[in-house]
Amino acid sequence: MSGKNGIRKLVMISFLVVVLVVLSVFMVAAARAQGDHDQAAGGMSSSNMGMAFLAAAAATGFGCIGAGIAVAYVGSAAVGAVGEKPEVAGRTLIFVGLAEGVAIYGLIIAIMILGKV
């Protein structure tokens, strides 16, 4: 992957992951609102808890998939850059770490979701 096509593809994948994580947050918000209604009537239903668990799994899963794709592209570019100029090794690690941060964001969202259940 090189040039504008590579950047476009990476941006589209990142956008897809963000949309899926936001969708999982909306799923848990809907489950929580229904749970509040059910709790007033006598407790949270199991289907709403299942929806919250599904949202947490989706946030973590899609975050990890996006991070894996990002690390694959960034890591291969980093290895190529270090092969040409060994003095940029420290800077390339920063970019790989930023790509891995996407998985951590998904995990944090999942922990927040599970904290509400």
Residues 6 or more apart whose CB falls under 8 angstroms from that of 109 comprise 21, 24, 25, 56, 59, 60, 63
- pLDDT level of residue 35 (50, 70, 90 thresholds): low
Count of domains forming the chain? 1
Dist CA 35 CA 44 (whole Å): 5
Q: What is the sign of the dihedral through the CA atoms of 75, 78, 80 and 82?
A: negative
Range of the domain at 39: 3-116
Q: Give the confidence band of 24 by pLDDT, cuts at 50, 70, 90.
A: confident
Residue 12 has pLDDT above 80, yes or no: no
What integer pLDDT is reported at residue 66 of this predicted model? Answer: 85
Q: What is the DSSP string of 40-79?
A: HHTS--HHHHHHHHHHHHHHHHHHHHHHHHHHHHHHHHHH
Q: Lowest-pLDDT range, 48-52, 68-72, 107-111?
A: 48-52
The average confidence (pLDDT) of the chain is 79
Average pLDDT for 5-28: 74
The pTM for the full model equals 0.61
Q: What is the pLDDT of residue 99?
A: 87
Domain with 106 in it: what CATH number? 1.20.20.10
CB 17 within 8 A of CB 63: yes
